Each structure stands twice: as structure tokens, then as C-alpha cells.
Structure 1
Amino acid sequence: MTDLHRIGEGLPFAAAVPDLRAAVRDRGVAVVQAPPGTGKTTLAPPALAADLTGRVVVVQPRRIAARAAARRLADLTGTSPGEFAGFTVRGERQVSSATRVEFATPGVLLRRLLADPALPGVAAVVLDEVHERGIETDLLVGMLAEVRVLREDLVLVAMSATLDAARFATLLGAATAGPAPVVDCPSALHPLELRWAPAPVPRTDARGVADAFLDHVTQTAAEAHRQAAGALGLEGPPDALVFLPGVREVERVAAGLRRLVPGAEVLELHGRIGARAQDRVTAGSSPGDAPRIVVSTALAESSLTVPGVRLVVDAGLAREPRRDAARDMSGLVTVAASRDAAVQRAGRAARQGTGLAVRCYDETTFAAMPAHVTPQISVADLVGPALLLACWGTPRGEGMPLPDPPPAGAVRDAEAVLRRLGAVDEEGQATDLGRRLAEVPADPRLARALLDGAALVGPRVAAEVVAALADDHRPDGGDLAGLLGALRRGSAPGATRWMREVRRLEELAERRTGSGRGGRADGVGLVVALAHPDRVARRTGEVYLLASGTRAALPPGGLRGQEWIAVAEVARADGRAAAGTGAVIRSAAPLAQETAEMAAGGLLVERTTATFRDHRVVARRVRALDAIELSSVAVRPGADEARRAVESALAEQGLGIFTWSEAADGLRRRLALLHREVGDPWPDMGDAALAARWPEWLGPEVDRLADGGRADRIDLTAPLRRLLPWPEAAQLEELAPERLAVPSGRAVRIDYPAVDDPDGRPVVAVKLQECFGWAQSPAVAGVPVQFHLLSPAGRPLAVTDDLASFWSGAYAQVRAEMRGRYPKHPWPEDPWTASATARTQRRS
């Protein structure tokens, strides 16, 4: 029988074990809330196994953490891995019939659930580190909660360092009487000194984490390591833990510390290190050993315990998945860590005694950091999760008790991809092919590339490419083929794990497809193109145009100059690295054009495109791979193409694409005044309104453009009249006449205000003598006409909309000034009774 007292000796979580066992005994579900380092991962699983008949499966979000937890529990129970405690991760399994506690990654358990939701032989499932909010762990919460509806004997426990306990208690207790019990374990922290060491340089630049900032972290860690003994009252330098966002940063800082701190053992901790290196980190140090400095990714935040640490140096950054829907890009990006994460990282220094934490940023930056980690389901690509949900029988996760629902837009995009793959039907239900793809431990696009590629290039090459892409390798210069060569030689990081995965995928592909042909020079590019046909790309100048329409730049390397490439990964970027495109190609392989057309055959289209240029509609028949033009010939546009071209030109350039004649402009102004003053049914003559209604009034003229006509030769007067309301149109000349009859007998043109002038008035410019005797100022559409009274030479003398006031007042001064200048023209003292005339006195 397992000795829980010996396993839990010195672990704070031992005090919480009775509460956990009672909760499981009474309700079958529990939520454990305990800080990192309290021993929950070590002690809770064997405590459950002691009370249950069957296996306890513990889900760890990372492979390295699952292996480490299994080995530690095996060591504490005096057994070998695979006996009492074992593990199953992708490509590696140490489990026997005697195994009581099995540590596994989320993907392993998801595929077991799809194969048999009853989970035969499993008595309990423990979801560890649920606060990290990984997509697969979130899906397991919902799926296992549904399983408990049918299997009430299945024990379900969620554990976390920082947790929204109420939310998860409600989710896990959905199938029972109310929320699940919450088991708390208080922190066992010793005093912790916190220091701030902000960098004098930005933490990130256009290429990611800035090298200058990494140098600052290196120097800060070295200096803190030298000073920590005195600050903590120790006889010598303590073991230290340095947190950085990714593998590249870990490797660079570790190399710098080896130079600056020669007396220390500098170790790296990330997902790509081997089992032996991992054991060296998690085993801790012995008396007399050199002090250790462990440079780690977020692995050591909560998933993995590094014993003996009394000093923590935190860069304050994290790497999280992000999806760019507009450019169809997804991948890991560097972001500010959450405040929760920063607190957990600092707390690692005070688990075994007084600790020191140094943050390489200031308090203002800390306050601006997000409070909690961003749930992956809200920001990541959902193609894989959407297929799992479809295979589970709940397309889009509708009705599932998930911690957060997947965003509707991301789900729609994911289902569109799955439909193109043939993995789901129109209702979102999984097809037979979709279920086969879900069995492959890779993104559905890569799974489809493995199966289709094996028949074209052979199972070995297809497996090599898919294994490299699934494990997130980052080739130098973006050259995927070069990376595969290094992996085959064993000279690239992670080569051993890659080779193991290749063998597994190759066997799977052989079972599904047979041997395949192989032997293609561009076989690597073909497999990539099968996975991502929308990322087939063609060189256009110094950058590449992807079939999806995204433009991206290649980093310096061996692929430059290739006409066609298949892009495996493209990410957002700024600065010179992106050559002004906003995106950079991280991984790609060359391929021939005919291969690109074969792999992306579903994107091949022939379409006629029409554009409006130089007053004409011109059209070309284009053969293209979606956004990549392959060939183009001039053709005569059809009526529909002409209409679309004009509509697009109107949206971009407005009504200026047409030439307005004086008559058309005048009519438009008259109608605009009526719309302003009278309103409906007189039509709006604004640019936006006319552009929106163009089919109603310009349809026949636009159709003639398809026959080669020119837009600048279209008289818009007649088209505008098509917008006149009937029967009100009969009153146009009465309400807004084109000309105004003045007392001299002449009809003078009325200048109507601009269409966009909200206060403009109709204006009549007329010689003063033509208005003698006109006392009542006329109005147009209810608006008084403004008269510009002119001299005999046509120069302005007065502006008025009240003729009666003018004759009674200002006229006398005008007469005095003008009669000597224009003696041949009448300037009567009494303009009220004088005859209006456009002639001189002699001619009159």
C-alpha cells in the first residue's frame, strides 16, 4: 500500500489531503487551489489512488512536466517509472498493468476520449494547472463534465496555482448537486525581498525580444547572483531561476551567464531539452555542488518545480498563441506576462527559505500587465479544437460546460478550413475523413498533408515534414529543407525527439496509404503546400505574395531568389525584417509552379476582372491561384463586370469619375435645394446618396461602358431626371425654375447653391435697371432669391434679398455714384414708377 505520509513529508499540501479525500468520497468532484511548490501534483494523485479502484490519470499541460512528475512520484514510492507511476506523452509511453497513477498530456487524453468516452479502467482524472487556460485543457473540462453525467463513479479533480475557483467548481459540479467542493492549501512562503531592475532599453523590437534587453537580463542575473548570499544571509551563492519567454532567449542568456558567472552551473529548461538534462534540473543540487542558475521558459512557473531556488530573476515576458484573422496567420507571439504569473515566478524564491526576486522592469510596467493569463481559446487558431468538438458530437462547443465559449468568428473560420479539408459537413458534423484526421496527433491541416503527401512523396518524407512542423521548429533563414537536413544528421536541437515522431507518423501513414511514390525534388514544399494551400507564394519583387493575399518578406537565407515557395509559418512583424509588408516568413520550402497548382488546385480560378481606368471600363481574363495571378489576357467586359467596376470606382473616387455638364450640374443643384427645403419625395443629391443609388439612374449608361464608351462623354442630365418623383416632377419648373423673369422682360438664369451648402441661397445676377418697379422680392422653393444688382458694365453694385428696402434706402447713394459714370443709362429718382429696361436711354 502506498505510504502517503512518506510521500507527503515536508509538503504543505499534506494538510489538505483529508479535505480532498472527503470531497471526493462525498461528491466525486473537487477543485484544488494551492500555490506552486506546495506538493499538490506529487501528493494528490496517490491520495486519490489509495481510495479508488482503477487508474488515476493526471493531465499535465506539458510533456516535460508529465515526465518529471511521473519520475518524481516513482522515486518517492521506491519504484521505477511505469510501475506505480508512469507517463504517456506524444511518442513516448512508460506505463504497465501495475500503473496506478499515469501522467499524460491533454492531447493524449482527448484522443482516448474520442476513441472511448467511457474511459474504461480509469477511476479518476486530475486536471492539473488549469489556470494556464490551454485550449485542450479547457476542452477536457467540458468533455469530462459531460462524461460524468453517464459515469457518476468517475472522479474529477481540477488543480491550479491561481484559479477562478467558483467558475471551475460550477463547471465540474454541473452533473451533481451544486458546485464542486473547493479544497484550499495555504501558501508556505518564507519572507521575500522584491527588487526592481528596469532596463534602459526597450524590451522588444521589430524582431521580437531585443538583444539589448537580453543582455540587461544577463547582467542583472549575474549581479544578483553575486549579491544574493549577503542579502539572504547565506554562506555562498544560492541556486537561481531566470524566467524568459522562449527557447532563443533562454539559450542566449544562458550562454552569457556561463561567461559572466564561471563558478556556477548554468542549466537550460525548456520543452526541447532531453530527459537527462531535464532530470538534472528537477533533481536539485547536493551539498558541495556548484550553485546552479536555471534559465527557463514559463515551464518553471507552476508546471515544474525546480528545488533549492532562493533567487528569481524575471524578464516579465511570456509567449502566447495569437491568431491574425485578417491575414490568416497564427503562431506564438511575445507579450507581457500576467501579474498572476509574475507573482508565481517571484514566489519560487521563497519556498524553502527567505528569498530574493528581481524584476527586470519597473512598478509601472507591473501595474499595466494583464491581471490574468489570456485564455488560449479566445485568441488562438481553432481548426484543431473545432475538429475535436465535431468528433465529440458538439460542433462549435454549443451547450458544453466550457470555461469560456470559443469566439464565433474564429469558429466560423475554423469550420471553413475543415470543410475545405473534407473533415466536417455543412452542419459542422465530423465526416469519416475528419475522424481519421483527428487520430493523427497534429493539426488537421498537417494530418491531411501527411495522408495525402504520403501517396505522392512517400510516407517517410511526409512524416519528416509533418513532424518538424508539428513540433514548432524554427529554421534559420526560414529554410525548412535545410532544417530537415540538420534534423536527419542529428545536428539540430530536438533531433532525437523528431526522429521518434517521424517513425510513429511514418507507420501511421503506411497503414493508411501504402508506400507512395516518393522521389520528388520539391517533395518538402509539396507536403507544406498540401497542409497550407492558401500559403503557396510567388515572388513579386523583393517580397512574396501568398495565395491568401498576404504579402510577406523572407529573412536572409538560402530561399531568397526562389520563384515559388510553400510557406509553413508566417507571422506579423515590423521594420526592415518585414520589408514594409507587416509580415515575415518563418518557415518555407521551394516548389515548382506545376506543383503549386497541383497542391493548391482547389484555389485555381479563372475569372474576368474589370476595372475603371482613364474614363473607361477595361477587363482581363485572369487565371489565378486565389490572389496569385498566373496569366492574364484582355477581353471585352460584360455588363455585370462593367457594373462592378463602376461601383468600385464610385466607392473609391466618388462621382468625380464622371464629367458634369453645366445643365446636369444645374439640375442637380435645383433638386438639392428642393430636397433641403421641401424634403421627401425630392431626392437627396449628395455624393454618397447618388453613388449608393447609381443603378437607379445610371444603369443604361454604365451598360454602354461595357461596349467601350467613355464615362466623361456621358451627359448626366437625362440620367438625373430618372430620379424625379412622380407626379411631383411636374412642379419642378414652378418650385425651382431654371430661369427667373425680371421686369425688363428678360428671363435670367438662377444660380442655385452648391449641393453641400446647407445655408446657400438661389442667386440672380441682373442689371439694376432691369428691376425698376419690382417691389416684392421673389422666392424659390420658399427661399428668398438673393439679387446681385449689377452696373451697366456688369460689375456688382449691391446684394439684397429685399428689393423694397433697397429702393427706399441704398438706391439713392448708388444713383448718386453711378449717374455720372454711366450717363447714357437711366437713373431715375423714383425707381418705383420707372420702366425697367436693359437698354440705354437713347435706345429706350
Structure 2
Amino acid sequence: MTRKPSLPVDTILPEIIASLRRSPALVIEAAPGAGKTTRVPPALMEIVSGEVVVLEPRRIAARLAARRVAWECGEEVGETVGYQVRFEEVAGPRTRLKFVTEGVLTRRLLSDPLLKGVSAVVLDEFHERHLDSDLALALLKRLQRQRSDLLIVVMSATLDAAPVARYLDDCPVVRSEGRLFELFIKHLPYSSKTLEAQVREAVESLLDEKHAGDILVFLPGAAEIRRAMRECEPTARRSGLLMLPLHGDLPAIEQDRAVAPASQRKLILATNVAESSVTVEGVTAVIDSGLARIASYSPWTGLPTLHVGRVSKASATQRAGRAGRTGPGRVLRLYPAEDYLHRPDHDTPQIMRSDLSQLYLALRAMRVEDAECIDWLDAPPAVAVKRAESLLDRLGATGAMAQRLARYPLPPRVSRILVESAARGVGEQGCIAAALLGSGANAGKNDILAAMELPPEPRTRQHLEQLRRIARPPRQARHDDDALLMSLLAGFPDRVARRRSGSQVLLSTGASAEIAGEPPRYEFMIAVDAEDRKDKPLPLIRMTARIEPEWLIELFPEHVHEQSGVLWNRTSERVEAVSALRYDELVIQETRGAAPDADAAAELLAQKALEAGIERFVDAAELQEFMARVAFAGSEPPDLDQALRELCSGLRSFAELRNAASSFLPMLEQREGARRLNEIAPVRIRLQNGRQTKVHYEGGKPPWIASRLQDFFGMRDTPRIGPDRTPVVVHLLAPNQRPVQTTTDLAGFWERLYPQVRRELMRRYPRHSWPERP
């Protein structure tokens, strides 16, 4: 005897069936509460001979949908209708309709690429756009080319149906308006209070309004739920509310208790597991925080991560719809209307923002040779694909190993650790380490072995039990830290680091990072957990694991290479020969001292000399004067950098360069043509009395000479140099070598100024001869 109350989707079932008889694909748009999850899949059993598989985005949705459909068929779950989620399967030989989580179908495709016995696949709540759902859709479309009898149905309440229909070869779209009762939605103003305090005030507001029915509160995660329950406990006790949590980490029995009918009014505090799929009976009011923990990934660990972010308009609509399933409802949103208007219409598909290594591992395990040619609904970013493929290559995830890793519903790094630790006889230790990494707990320890010795946190313990069920490690006969650490290295071959100084390390990528807390004593390590920081220049490594450099040569010889060259010793200021053994960009062993290659040594010495400044080796004043002399001669200025490089030939230290630098200016003079330069810009000129005096050159000034006034007795003409016969500036010096006059006109000086200068000099230097007409 069946028990089927009428639902809005019932009216379009004939249209759905007729469409699928004509076309193998269909998109169904049905408002929240229409009944698509529980009515469409059973209807498909009437037109196909094989199994109908329904993909649900969450375990609780799969279980509840299966139970509801079985109840409507008058059966127990596990007969005609069953379900399969991670770690749990309720089905039997007569099961023809199975509700499964998305990853379950992916793993089934690994062992059965043709999905033998499956006649139809329904992708429910496709708007959530999880990685596995996008992968499933792409693989099903690909499979449909081989199996024209396979039916594909995509369903959602808030999906933009047109792009999906186009993707499925312009398949038909069927719509149902649903039966959503009137909703009163109120946006609350911004509040600086804690989230749990805002929830309590919203609950009290509904109670003050004498609102009947259960209250469903949407919060980002389990931690926020626990805080809100503590905050709301006095209010719930006074009002006789049964307060229940609902999130994915709860045991199935507690999840069922939250959604099952109760004898008293309920206050259900849930994550977005309650956002879609099956109606939660009795809910007439929703309090929406507008937040969710959004799945992403850590580029450091390659493991999934969650961060709190604002939900899209589509998700907010889904949440609000929970209040109007069985009667008029009320919705309190803990954020302003303006905030809502600025939110995106839909969430960004995971394939556009997540690590793709697990997805591409599945493709490798399925032996999909043309993975780059897969027709995606939204093609993943090329850089993310390249990153994923590169990581899988480093993990050795090819051929048989790819299939072994893909058997585990885990990120590839964790799967690799489990496989390697089992092979090395430390499978139990491998599970503990993987659980610690997956839960993100370290209890203040930045070394993984030290963290493993502490009592595990509840989340770590739960994760460990799941890993034990997945990996089934053999009984470990011995405790072997080195074997475990080598297993971790197999999962993080691209995270090798070497301690540099203090808390800083150099990574095998060539980048630097900083270790949180007290730096470990070991020199070589892997950074198994780290994060980039917007407020700091270096990433922060939260967890490390010791390794030995010999392990790198043993496990990854293709990434170890020898490099010979020259290196600058800053202390002795000399070039040294260096031979280095490198793992990627990281030096793991180095020897110095042998005679360096002459050309390489000269090049490096010149580079360091130029960095230090040419004035360190050549007198700056002399060099400046030489350059001014060249400029006066009208010649092109010499290339000092190139000249210094040539001077470094055959040398390998600053000390040798300083000794050789005495020939630097003569070398430049020879290049400029010494004879021509001396003719145009002489270094010295001879005065009439036979005395030679130096010619000084300064940039932007005429050349000048300086000598005692007596040396110019008998000279009427000012000395001239250069092609333009430029008069030099004459500095006439007193016997104390200080100038008494500067002039470019000696004749004029004797006539106009000398009589006065003579009187002064006679007074100060009476022993000298100061003729009246010199």
C-alpha cells in the first residue's frame, strides 16, 4: 500500500516521461517543495528496465530521500529503494532505485566505466556545482555516446537551466512552479554583536511574536552551532524548545533526530546540509546567518579546506524556502537588504576554484587518455589543470598506482601516504599522521611526530576511524619513525625545505617561508601544513616533518641533479668553485674550494665589483678627472663596466683586482688613443721658464692650471689647449701656494691688477723679488 500525498511535481510527471521517451536528456527546474527529489526518480523506474541512480550533494539528503521514497512505496529502505554514502550502504538484490552521494558514482565508474545495469542517472540539486557532480555530468555525457539508452536528468530549484540544456545537446527543459507558501522575509540591520548573540535575539523575536512551528537556523559550521546552542540554551529552556544540531559530522542517528517529527517545538541549528533536497517537516521559520563554510583547498597541503564566506542569492533563496514548504513562513536574515543585493546570483562552481588533483586522478584511473578533450560544462582553469597534473606526476600517480590511489575517497596526497606507509609496514602510523593532517589539529606542536604523541582531538579521532575503515592497515609489528617520515615524503615530494637561519627555511621551489613556533632542530624537512599570509611577506609553516637528504636521492633520483659552478664568498671577497647536489631548486649537499673556471670566475668577480662600485678599486677623483678630460677632447665616454670586466680576466678576488686596478686608467687612455688625447687634452703643459704644470679637468668647467706667480714672469699670452685653442684658467699662487688671482687673460692681469697684487706681495714676502715690469 503506497502513501503518496499530492505534490506539485506530480502534474508534470507525464511531461517528464514523454520527454525522456523522445530524448535521452532532460533538465528539470522545480521550486523548493515541489517534490522533485522523491517523485521523479520512482517515476523513471516505470520506463527503464535497469537501475536508477540519484546523485545527492550530501549524505543526509541521500539517506532521507531514500527513506521517504521507500515509505511512500510502503517498503523498508534496502528493498526496491536504497542508498549508498561513504562508509554506509543500505541496498539489496531487489534494489532498483539508489540514492548516492556524488563521489560514490565516480568510484563506481572506476570499476565499471559503462555503468552496466544502470538505465538512468539523476543529478539532484545540481546548482551546488560540486566537483564530483561536474565530473559525473561530463563522464555521463561522454558515456551516452556509447550508450544511447542511458538517460540523464539534471534537477534543481535555483539552477539557470539554459546553459545546462545547451550543454546536453539542447535537450528539453521542464518546469514546475512548486507549492511554496507565502513567505515574509525581513532583513535585519548590521550588528556588531557576536553571531551567536544575533541568533539568540532573532529566536527571542520570533517567540515574542508568538510564532508557531519549528525554527531552522542556518550557520556556517559545527563550531558556530555549538556556540549558538550555548547562547540559546536559557531561551530554549524557558520556551520549551527542543534544541538540536544538524551538520555533516554528526552520526546518522542524530541527524535523523533533527529532521524527524517531535512531540515539542524544535529549534534546529544547521549548516547548509539542510539547505536543499528533502523537506524538514514542521519548519515554519528560518533564521539565516547568510554565511557558509565554502569548500576550497590549501595550495600548500593540497588538502580540502573550508573558509567562512557569504552565500549567493540562490542559496539564500533555498534557505528561505525551507520556511514555506508546509505553510506560510517567516524568514529573518541577519544581514541588511543592501548586502543581499550585492551578492552573486549563484555560487562559483567548485571546478573553477578548487584543487583538481583528485578529479584528474579519477580520470587517470579510468584510463581517460584524452582528458584535455573532455567536454566540461565549465572548463577548469588551465593553470589549475597543469598544477594538478604536475602534482600527480610527482606522486607517481600513473598506471596501476593511479588506480590504487583512486580507490580511496581521499585527496591524492593522503592516499599516497596511506599506500606508502602500508608498504613500509607502518600503516597504522600512516593513518594517524593522515588523520592529524586532515583534521588540521596540531595542539601547538609544529613537528608531526610530537603532535602524534598527544591525545587526539575528537575530530582527529573521528577522522582516524574513517581512515582505518578505508585503508584497513595490517597490524603494525614495530614502531618506525623513519619509515613513517619517508611515507609522508612520498605524499609531499614538492614541499621539501632546508632550515636557513632562525625560523626561516628555503623551499625546494626556490621560495622562502617561516616556521611557526620554535624552529625544529633538524635541518631538512617537509612543510606538510602551511598557509600564505596577506599581512606577511613569507608563508607560515604550521607543521613540519623531519627527512634525511639521502631519502630524496633514494625516492626521487630524477629530481636530484649535480651542478658545478662558481660562488661568491662574501667574507673573503673572492670567487670559489662550488659543486652542489640539488633537489629541484634546493641545495642538499655542497663542496667548495677547487680552482674555479677562469671565465666564470672573471664574470662573477666583475659582477660583484660593479655591485660594490668601481670607485672601490680606482681613485674616484682620478677617474672623474679622466672622464672630464675625455669629454673636453670631444670623445665618446668609455664603457667603464666593460673595461672593468676585461680587467677582471684571470682574477678571482677583490684583493687581486685592487692590485690590477693601477693599470685601469692607462688602459682607458690607450683605448682613447693616447697620442691624440695628449695633443688635444694634455696632462701637463710647459711654462715659459721651462717648468711643467699639471692641467686639471673638471666636468662642465674649462681646464685650469696652477703655479707660482713668478713662474709666469715674462709671459704675456695665456696658455691655450685643444682644437679650439681654449685658454686655460690660470691660478696664480703666492709663495704659500695659495691663489692670489685667477685669470684667463695674463696680459690684462699684468697691466691692470699686478701693481696692486705686487704691493701686497712685497709687504707679505719682502725677501722675494717682485719686479715692477715682470
TM range (shorter): 0.7 to 0.9
Matched with 2:41 is 45
Within the candidate set 154, 178, 181, 2:172 is matched to 181
Judging changes above 3 Å, is the alpha-carbon distance between structure 1 residues 764 and 482 closer, same or farther for their aligned structure 2 residues?
Answer: closer
User: What RMSD over aligned residues (CA atoms) do the two structures have, in Å?
Assistant: 5.3
How far residue 721 of structure 1 moved from its aligned partner, in angstroms, is 9.0
Equivalent-residue separation in structure 2 for 1:378 and 1:672 (angstroms): 62
Matched with 2:425 is 457
Equivalent-residue separation in structure 1 for 2:336 and 2:755 (angstroms): 83
* Residues 1:416 and 2:390 aligned together: yes
Task: Name the SS for the 1:96 alignment partner.
Answer: coil
Within the candidate set 507, 510, 513, 1:551 is matched to 513
Structure 1 residue identity aligned to 2:259: T
How far residue 120 of structure 1 moved from its aligned partner, in angstroms, is 0.6
How far residue 117 of structure 1 moved from its aligned partner, in angstroms, is 2.1
How far residue 154 of structure 1 moved from its aligned partner, in angstroms, is 0.7
Equivalent-residue separation in structure 1 for 2:91 and 2:675 (angstroms): 92
Task: Name the SS for the 2:378 alignment partner.
Answer: coil
Judging changes above 3 Å, is the alpha-carbon distance between structure 1 residues 260 and 544 closer, same or farther for their aligned structure 2 residues?
Answer: farther
How far residue 404 of structure 1 moved from its aligned partner, in angstroms, is 2.4
Provide, for residues 636-676 of structure 1, a one-character-per-residue CA deviation record: whole Å limited to 9, x for no partner: 4734875896799699x6867975655766788999999xx
> Could you tell me whether the CA contact under 8 Å between 2:204 and 2:235 is conserved in 1?
no
Within the candidate set 243, 256, 261, 1:266 is matched to 243
How far residue 330 of structure 1 moved from its aligned partner, in angstroms, is 6.6
Equivalent runs, 1:382-781 vs 2, <5 Å: 382-394=356-368, 397-424=371-398, 431-463=399-431, 465-466=433-434, 472=439, 474=441, 476-477=443-444, 492-493=458-459, 495=461, 498-499=464-465, 501-506=467-472, 518-521=478-481, 525-535=485-495, 543=503, 545=505, 547-548=507-508, 551-554=513-516, 568-573=528-533, 581-585=538-542, 610-611=567-568, 613=570, 615-617=573-575, 634-636=592-594, 638-639=596-597, 659=617, 662=620, 698=645, 701=648, 704-705=651-652, 715=661, 751=698, 763-766=701-704
Task: Name the SS for the 1:277 alignment partner.
Answer: helix
Rg (Cα) greater in structure: 2
Moved more, 118-127 or 85-94: 85-94
> Could you tell me whether the CA contact under 8 Å between 2:258 and 2:268 is conserved in 1?
yes
Matched with 1:176 is none
How far residue 388 of structure 1 moved from its aligned partner, in angstroms, is 2.3
Within the candidate set 159, 178, 184, 1:192 is matched to 184
How far residue 414 of structure 1 moved from its aligned partner, in angstroms, is 2.3
Provide, for residues 247-287 of structure 1, a one-character-per-residue CA deviation record: whole Å limited to 9, x for no partner: 3333333333335533432222222111101111222x34x
Judging changes above 3 Å, is the alpha-carbon distance between structure 1 residues 535 and 659 closer, same or farther for their aligned structure 2 residues?
Answer: same
Within the candidate set 89, 94, 100, 2:90 is matched to 94
How far residue 563 of structure 1 moved from its aligned partner, in angstroms, is 8.2
How far residue 454 of structure 1 moved from its aligned partner, in angstroms, is 0.8
Matched with 2:331 is 357
Structure 2 residue identity aligned to 1:124: A
Matched with 1:166 is 162
Judging changes above 3 Å, is the alpha-carbon distance between structure 1 residues 327 and 228 closer, same or farther for their aligned structure 2 residues?
Answer: closer
* Residues 1:282 and 2:256 aligned together: no
Provide, for residues 300-334 of structure 1, a one-character-per-residue CA deviation record: whole Å limited to 9, x for no partner: 22356433333333333333344565897873333
How far residue 124 of structure 1 moved from its aligned partner, in angstroms, is 1.0
Matched with 1:377 is 351
Matched with 2:217 is 242
How far residue 153 of structure 1 moved from its aligned partner, in angstroms, is 1.1
Task: Name the SS for the 2:373 alignment partner.
Answer: coil
How far residue 552 of structure 1 moved from its aligned partner, in angstroms, is 4.6
How far residue 710 of structure 1 moved from its aligned partner, in angstroms, is 5.9
Judging changes above 3 Å, is the alpha-carbon distance between structure 1 residues 264 and 595 closer, same or farther for their aligned structure 2 residues?
Answer: farther
How far residue 172 of structure 1 moved from its aligned partner, in angstroms, is 1.9
How far residue 818 of structure 1 moved from its aligned partner, in angstroms, is 9.0
Equivalent runs, 1:781-792 vs 2, <5 Å: none
Equivalent-residue separation in structure 2 for 1:719 and 1:629 (angstroms): 41
Provide, for residues 512-569 of structure 1, a one-character-per-residue CA deviation record: whole Å limited to 9, x for no partner: xxx776432566545433322444667778747475455354479xx98888876543
Task: Name the SS for the 2:191 alignment partner.
Answer: coil
How far residue 630 of structure 1 moved from its aligned partner, in angstroms, is 6.5
> Could you tell me whether the CA contact under 8 Å between 2:526 and 2:546 is conserved in 1?
yes
* Residues 1:59 and 2:75 aligned together: no
How far residue 387 of structure 1 moved from its aligned partner, in angstroms, is 2.2
> Could you tell me whether the CA contact under 8 Å between 2:300 and 2:530 is conserved in 1?
no
Matched with 1:206 is none
TM-score by length of 2: 0.77
Matched with 1:316 is 290
Equivalent-residue separation in structure 2 for 1:160 and 1:392 (angstroms): 28
Matched with 2:271 is 297
> Could you tell me whether the CA contact under 8 Å between 1:526 and 1:591 is conserved in 2?
no
Structure 1 residue identity aligned to 2:203: H
How far residue 97 of structure 1 moved from its aligned partner, in angstroms, is 2.4
How far residue 96 of structure 1 moved from its aligned partner, in angstroms, is 1.9
Structure 2 residue identity aligned to 1:181: P
Within the candidate set 84, 105, 126, 1:130 is matched to 126
Equivalent-residue separation in structure 2 for 1:269 and 1:817 (angstroms): 112
How far residue 48 of structure 1 moved from its aligned partner, in angstroms, is 1.9
Moved more, 525-534 or 448-457: 525-534
TM-score by length of 1: 0.71
Judging changes above 3 Å, is the alpha-carbon distance between structure 1 residues 658 and 456 closer, same or farther for their aligned structure 2 residues?
Answer: farther
How far residue 139 of structure 1 moved from its aligned partner, in angstroms, is 1.7
> Could you tell me whether the CA contact under 8 Å between 2:138 and 2:374 is conserved in 1?
yes
How far residue 181 of structure 1 moved from its aligned partner, in angstroms, is 1.6
Matched with 1:113 is 109
Structure 2 residue identity aligned to 1:185: S
Judging changes above 3 Å, is the alpha-carbon distance between structure 1 residues 161 and 568 closer, same or farther for their aligned structure 2 residues?
Answer: farther
Structure 1 residue identity aligned to 2:187: R
In percent, how many aligned pairs have the same letter? Answer: 27
Structure 1 residue identity aligned to 2:593: V
How far residue 119 of structure 1 moved from its aligned partner, in angstroms, is 0.8
Structure 1 residue identity aligned to 2:216: L
Provide, for residues 462-487 of structure 1, a one-character-per-residue CA deviation record: whole Å limited to 9, x for no partner: 445446656x4645446867887899
Equivalent-residue separation in structure 1 for 2:556 and 2:430 (angstroms): 19
Equivalent-residue separation in structure 2 for 1:117 and 1:732 (angstroms): 88
How far residue 72 of structure 1 moved from its aligned partner, in angstroms, is 2.6
> Could you tell me whether the CA contact under 8 Å between 1:30 and 1:181 is conserved in 2?
yes
Judging changes above 3 Å, is the alpha-carbon distance between structure 1 residues 730 and 555 closer, same or farther for their aligned structure 2 residues?
Answer: closer
Equivalent-residue separation in structure 2 for 1:269 and 1:26 (angstroms): 42
Gaps of 5+ in 2: 707-711, 760-769
Equivalent-residue separation in structure 1 for 2:280 and 2:756 (angstroms): 107
Equivalent-residue separation in structure 2 for 1:437 and 1:318 (angstroms): 30
Moved more, 538-547 or 337-346: 538-547
Structure 2 residue identity aligned to 1:244: L
> Could you tell me whether the CA contact under 8 Å between 1:650 and 1:657 is conserved in 2?
no
Equivalent-residue separation in structure 1 for 2:309 and 2:771 (angstroms): 89
Equivalent-residue separation in structure 2 for 1:648 and 1:441 (angstroms): 54
How far residue 57 of structure 1 moved from its aligned partner, in angstroms, is 1.1
How far residue 573 of structure 1 moved from its aligned partner, in angstroms, is 5.0
Equivalent-residue separation in structure 2 for 1:194 and 1:93 (angstroms): 42
Equivalent-residue separation in structure 1 for 2:702 and 2:400 (angstroms): 80
> Could you tell me whether the CA contact under 8 Å between 2:56 and 2:62 is conserved in 1?
yes
Task: Name the SS for the 2:89 alignment partner.
Answer: strand
Provide, for residues 695-744 of structure 1, a one-character-per-residue CA deviation record: whole Å limited to 9, x for no partner: x9837827732x7866666749979999x9x9xx989979x987799999
Moved more, 433-442 or 743-752: 743-752
Judging changes above 3 Å, is the alpha-carbon distance between structure 1 residues 547 and 248 closer, same or farther for their aligned structure 2 residues?
Answer: farther
Equivalent-residue separation in structure 2 for 1:739 and 1:370 (angstroms): 79
Within the candidate set 227, 231, 244, 2:205 is matched to 227
